[in-house]
Amino acid sequence: MHLLSAGCASAVLLVALLSQVTSLELITGQYGEMLKIPCNSGAIKAEDIAITKWKYDKGDGVPGYLLVKQKNQNVSISATDEYKVRVSMDENSSLLISAAKLSDQRTFTCMVVTGGDVFEYPVNVLIHKLPAKLEISEKAEELEIGRLTKLGKCVAKDANPPANITWFKNNKPLEADGKGISIKASVAIESGTGLSTTTSILEYSATKEDTGAKFECRADSLPLESSSMNFTITYSTENIMLEVSPQKELKEGDNLTLKCVADGNPAPTSFNFHLKGELVTVENTDTYTIANVSRNATGEYKCSLIDDTSMEATRNITVTYLDINLSPSGNIVKLAGDALNLSLQIDSSGKAEVSWTKNNTKLDKQPDFTKLGYSDSGRYEWTVTVGHITRTASFDLTVEGPAVIKSLFKNRSNDGQHKVLTCEAEGSPKPAVSWSINGTLLSESPFINGKITHKIKVVPSANLTVHCTVTNRLGVDSRAINVSSLIEEVRMDKQDQSEDSDQTRLVVGVIVGLLIATLVIGLAYWVYSKKSKQGSWKTGEKECGSSEEEKKLEEKVEENSQKAEV
């Protein structure tokens, strides 16, 4: 296709008035970057296009022509203004504008000629630019409670459209309320570039709760935020508190540290400490230490502000202490049967808990020493506790007594081959046991609670008297026991067995004789009774005589029966 003449061009323009006009398209470009404006968006095939021409609206309906391209020919630049060096066209007929500016925010139109038709595709262009960064300047050095103070100024430079700034405190947005929060925003346009600079000033009335709070500003709908900032909140002291260390229990000998804590900001650095009526002033510190406290340190303590003594704090402090005295103590020696009187004294700051042990074994109650026995010997420990203080006292008790024999007895061994002699004694120190006869020691029991048992075995060939003797440094005791020979005991055992056999035979003979006599008398009585019944027809006198004889016979039988039982 050839280039159109001027007359043809006029005809084309005339046809354009009657051509189809598509709806207005809107695109957004980024400031300073290549701007690409599409033509017909593929509605017309490239092979059907004869001519493509781009123009823009200069304002007041006056067009400005940029470039034209005829089919199978190169692009021809028509622009004579600044666009002359900025425009070009790609293979899809899209208009390319380098280094987009805010002045490019206008309507660009693509004219397409196909055969006898002319189509126009207008495109509206917007240019956006993010602010370079958000900066907070003119920061306040400190905030005073209850006073509206300029906190800072947040600036968003060189943006389009203008940035909308929001202030945040601890990630929560702030809104002006006309009281404690005031936000003033303004926008300035740079004449050279047309870019906007937004400024937002925050005035804020702080509270105590704002101590440590973080403030920052952000641009709405944009991934921009300032660095956070903290402010010192100043306020006068309203409360004061006295802290004590150690916190749980103060024992006699500990160090006591007093600390005066005020809630003002900045906090006071000098205080008055009232130590049980004594006034001590400290500067550039809030603590005071009393070393190695005694029980006399118990009492009321105070701290106050130097410039306002009416603002004070009070604490009652108790020093825990414990003293004990046990008398007598150490090594104690007593005689069995005597009494041991203990003196137990406790001086403490509170109720004491008392326990006893004997030879490291805990006792259920305090031991009773009104009448001492050998089992009372041992090591006793008295433990007293008040709070975290524990004191102990102890003594070693030894109960002594003269050696005494409690029992002396004999037994024959199970096999009958020897005699066992047993001597049981008590006393303390440990009694020594001796015998008046040579024997073989069978066993000696452990010496426990003043008691000892000594056993020997002997084989006596004749009857004899044996003595057991026990001794210690406090006394001697002796006891005798008769011991028969094993031969004599065997003879006596046999004699006893013979006598027992003769007596048994005698008893059996008597019993058998009596039983026989009873049977004979019973038989005679039976025979006699039978005859009496046959002669019952005789006279009454004879019957009476027979009756008397019958009674005598019955009495005789009864007597013999009793003897047989015996």
**Domain extent listing, the chain:** 25-128, 133-234, 240-318, 322-398, 402-483
Q: What is the number of alpha carbons within 13 Å of residue 400 lying toward its C-beta?
A: 11
What percent of the chain has a predicted confidence (pLDDT) above 70?
84
Q: According to the model, what pLDDT value does residue 553 have? A: 47
Residue-wise pLDDT tens digits, 26-64: 999 999 999 999 987 767 777 788 899 999 998 888 899
* Selection from 415, 417, 379, 411 nearest residue 398 by Cα: 379
| Domain at 240-318: CATH architecture | Sandwich (2.60)
φ and ψ at residue 360, rounded to 5 degrees = 70, 10
The mean per-residue pLDDT over the stretch 63-72 comes to 91
Q: What is the pLDDT of residues 116-167, one digit of tens each?
A: 788 899 999 999 998 878 888 998 888 888 889 999 999 999 999 999 999 9
Residues 347-374 have pLDDT tens digits of: 999 899 999 999 999 999 999 999 999 9
Tell me: the pLDDT tens digits for 287-340? Answer: 999 999 999 999 999 999 998 888 999 999 999 999 999 999 999 999 999 999
pTM: 0.53
The residue-averaged pLDDT of 265-282 equals 89
Average pLDDT, the chain: 83
Q: Which fold has domain 133-234?
A: Immunoglobulin-like (2.60.40)
The band of 191, judged by pLDDT with boundaries at 50, 70 and 90, is confident
The C-alpha atoms of residue 473 and residue 476 are separated, in whole angstroms, by 8
CATH architecture of 402-483: Sandwich (2.60)
Q: Say if residue 432's pLDDT is above 50.
A: yes
Q: Determine the 3-state secondary structure of 505 from DSSP.
A: helix
Least confident of 71-75, 460-464, 483-487: 483-487
Task: Say whether pLDDT at 4 is over 60.
Answer: no
Amino acid at site 248: K
Q: How many residues does the chain have?
A: 566
* Structure confidence at residue 531 (pLDDT): 64
More confident: 481 or 546:
481
Average pLDDT over residues 344-348: 94
| DSSP label of 21 | B
- Of 9-18, 164-173, 398-407, the least confident: 9-18
Using DSSP, state whether 46 is helix, strand or coil. Answer: helix
Give me the residues paired with residue 97 across strands: 35, 87
CATH class of 322-398: mainly beta
Tell me what pLDDT residue 503 has.
58
Cβ atoms within 10 Å of 539's Cβ, excluding its own? 8
Confidence of residue 182 (pLDDT cuts 50, 70, 90): very high
Tell me: pLDDT of 409 over 90: yes
In CATH, which superfamily holds the domain spanning 25-128?
Immunoglobulins (2.60.40.10)
Q: With 60 as the cut, is the pLDDT of residue 404 above it?
A: yes
pLDDT in the model for residue 18: 31
In whole angstroms, how large is the CA radius of gyration of the chain?
Answer: 67
Per-residue confidence (pLDDT) for residue 355, from 0 to 100: 95
- 403-417 burial, b for 16+ CB within 10 Å, e for fewer? bbbeebeeeeeeeee
Contacts of 541 (CB under 8 A, 6+ apart): none
Question: Is the pLDDT reported for residue 451 higher than 80?
Answer: yes
